[in-house]
Amino acid sequence: TWGAMLGSFLGGIILIPLLGQRNAIYSAAAVNLIIAVLVILGSRREKSRPAEEEPLPVEPPVPDEDVPEEANSPAFGKTPLLLGVGAFAAAGGAAMALQLAWTRVLSLSVGSSVYAFSLIVTAFIGGLALGGAVMSRRITRYRNPLIVFGALQLLTGVTVLGVILILGDLPRLMAVYILPYAYSITFIFVLEFLAVLFVIGIPTTLMGAAFPAIAHAYETRGRSVGRTVGDVYSANTLGAIIGAFGAGFILIPVVGLQSTVLSAAGVYVCCGAIVVALSGASRLRRLVMILPAVGIAVAAGVWLPPWDRTLLNSGPYIYGPVGSMWGQDTGSEFLAQVRSLKLLFHHQGVKI
């Protein structure tokens, strides 16, 4: 995933501007061919090495007699675990729906160029990589990784709801506090990347942390590492395929961008609540984790205000740098200027 983050940055910011689209594709293909050659050569060298003496068997550690056997075994059964993998598949669909919706909304503030798209994708994948890297080093400390996975789903849903609030006000933040102070293209890229990371950094990090959690829970049932990663990753990828199609062709055209993001947040909260409820934790612990998240999700669905369409379409990536010329030194002045405009047309989806 770190490599994917690097590739999304290099592809949009360096390779396409420097080499062009076709040569950028050739470069990516060349990298794959080089990797294939190196791996094949390395495997042949490994086969040609003389067989080394097998190491002496290591005695297994003696378990602590004071610790009951149940304390070292997972507190959940097969059915909750399968539901957890199913929840991870649903999370894959919600993640792709969010990536599509977030990209559309963020492009209204940072621009729709290949550079802006590259920065958005880099920030999204970077959050996934960071979350996976951190959680993979900590998950073995937890006795019940399934409840950790459920908690991450709940937190992801709640933070996505917070992103909805920020996205609705992002054009004003960009136009007033960021873009007027960017006097070079490199500085603009840096500021835009930091702005995108500020918006989606926390939920994407939580999304990335979920993979080691559910993989470790799945592995506790005696499966090999390869089987564990393959099963869990394929379930998530299948969900991502469904989510990408459903969001792009159904949700966004039918209910709009904001409702698509809200629906994805609801998926995370529902999946997290189901997993936590069946995780085998104490009743009090489950209630403390589930009720606040569900309450916040319900309240957000009822009371979250709709985005200001005129503000979203105000084009801060075009007019933000000259905002000081209009005397828009404060957010209220910018909003007054935007609300004096008349939005002639707005539609999400195919319009003939």
Could you state, in chain order, the average pLDDT of each consecutive group of 10 residues for the chain (352 residues)?
A: 95 93 95 96 80 56 43 59 91 96 93 91 96 93 90 97 93 80 80 92 96 86 76 94 95 94 96 91 90 94 91 80 51 76 84 65
For the range 277-285, what are the long-range contacts, defined as Cβ-Cβ under 8 Å and sequence gap of 24 or more? 278/76, 278/79, 278/80, 278/83, 279/75, 279/76, 279/80, 279/144, 279/146, 279/147, 279/150, 280/74, 280/75, 280/76, 280/77, 280/80, 280/144, 280/146, 280/147, 281/75, 281/144, 281/147, 285/147
Give dist(CA 172, CA 346) in Å, integer: 19
For the range 15-23, what are the long-range contacts, defined as Cβ-Cβ under 8 Å and sequence gap of 24 or more? 16/114
Residues in the chain: 352
Contact of 149 with 42, CB cutoff 8 Å: no
Give dist(CA 91, CA 267) in Å, integer: 7
The pLDDT of residue 321 is 56
The pLDDT of residue 121 is 95
The pLDDT of residue 317 is 80
Instruction: Kindly state the DSSP code that residue 113 receives in the 8-state scheme.
Output: S
**Please, which residues have CB within 8 angstroms of residue 290's CB and are 6 or more apart in sequence?**
154, 272, 273, 276, 277
CA nearest 237: which of 338, 92, 119, 133?
92
Contact of 177 with 104, CB cutoff 8 Å: no
What pTM was estimated for this model as a whole?
0.85
Contact of 279 with 75, CB cutoff 8 Å: yes
Side chain identity at 11, as an amino acid letter?
A: G
The pLDDT of residue 122 is 96
Alpha-carbon separation of residue 129 from 92, 296, 310 (angstroms): 15, 27, 35
